[in-house]
Amino acid sequence: MGYSCGIVGLPNVGKSTLFNAITQTAKAQAANYPFCTIEPNVGVVAVPDERLYTIAKLERSQKITPTFMEFVDIAGLVRGASKGEGLGNQFLAHIREVDAIAQVLRCFKDEDVVHVEGSVDPIRDAQIVELELIAKDLETVEKRLEKVEKMARIGDKKAKEELEKLLAIKDVLENMVPLIRKYRDLGQEVVDYARKNLFLLTVKPMMYVANVDEESLSSPNEHLKRLIEYARGIGVPVVVICAKLEAELIALEEEERKELLKAYGLEEPGLNKLVREGYKLLDLITFFTAGEKETRAWTVKKGTKAPQAAGKIHSDMERGFIAAEVINYEDYIKVGSLAKAKEMGLVRLEGKDYQIQDGDIVYFRFNV
């Protein structure tokens, strides 16, 4: 699939309810007890993007194919997970496999839904999860240090270089700070080493998903206000969602869904915001290919060059890349068709060094 976001959090905060709504399935068993989700459930979700459907309509495309993100519902974590408490090791192993983390935090009171910590406190819950991830990363770093220090002592040059990176990482973790928040201080080389060589957990980008009751969608409660203020201070984005409402929305017909959203003063489901924030978190953009047969959206990292973007479609297109015919959506929409845009000279010819921009509509020239 390419890019995945893990839904994590303490038990009974609404992870599985949210996952069910995201994937519009009942794959994850939502129940009022801890660890009802044991194996990670995986759901593939279309990225909401009105531009895709506008292009398809204007080009009279027979087929429309959105781009997708993968969401993984991971078993609830408890205190001591890094030491194997609850389903700790299994939980942490599953996080290693995702690209980003969406931590669900309960921001509502409900006497009928037990809280594993005995009370509702989203900031405490966020810190519990993050401290467990930090503890696991420290364990990984210390194990690696034992091997590298021995090699460095006997004069191994590569070991000495690796030792410097490990000590810099350890210093951050021992101060109980996730690595992602010290990205600039550590530098790209150290961050890449933490991600690609050590597979550390706290180097992954994270967002908070504040699960609220219906009333708090229009009038934020104190739990939500405190969380937003805390998150702003540490630079973590917050998406506010009522998982219960999202689950209700997917059971409705389109018109009923619009009416219910309007009743709560919402323009769109919260899930759309969640998927878009996941996109933003991973530094992703969308480009399009369009024609009579199909209009399709594609996902690439920001900064991807044209040949590599072509490779997303087919490896032969990257290997035999010649040039890319490009028009951005904003320019395209002014004229209303690719044919007209070409007539007016608005379609540019770009070479192998061109970086694909969000909203580009592209035709790749290649020869194998």
Among the listed residues 106, 35, 99, the one whose alpha carbon sits nearest the alpha carbon of residue 72: 99
Residue with tokens 């460095």: 152
The candidate with the shortest Cα–Cα distance to 2, out of 63, 47, 51, 53, is 47
- Return the closest-CA partner of residue 59 out of 364, 316, 363: 363
The answer to the question of whether 13 is labelled as a binding residue is: yes
CA distances from 329 to 77, 112, 278, 361 (A): 43, 49, 22, 6
User: How far apart (Å, rounded) are the C-alpha atoms in residues 59 and 72?
Assistant: 35
12 is in an annotated binding site: yes
Give the residue from 74, 99, 100 showing the smallest Cα distance to 88.
74
Task: For tokens 């408490």, name the residue.
Answer: 85
Q: In what order do the strands lie in the sheet with 321-328?
A: 63-65, 294-301, 284-289, 360-366, 321-328, 348-350
On whether 225 is known to bind a ligand per the annotation, the reply is no
* 147 annotated as ligand-binding: no
Task: Tell me if 76 is assigned to a ligand binding site.
Answer: no
175 is in an annotated binding site: no
Contact 65, 313 (CB under 8 A): no
- Helix 122-153, helix 157-174: angle, nearest 10: 160
Binding residues: 12-17
Q: Binding site for ATP: which residues? A: 12-17
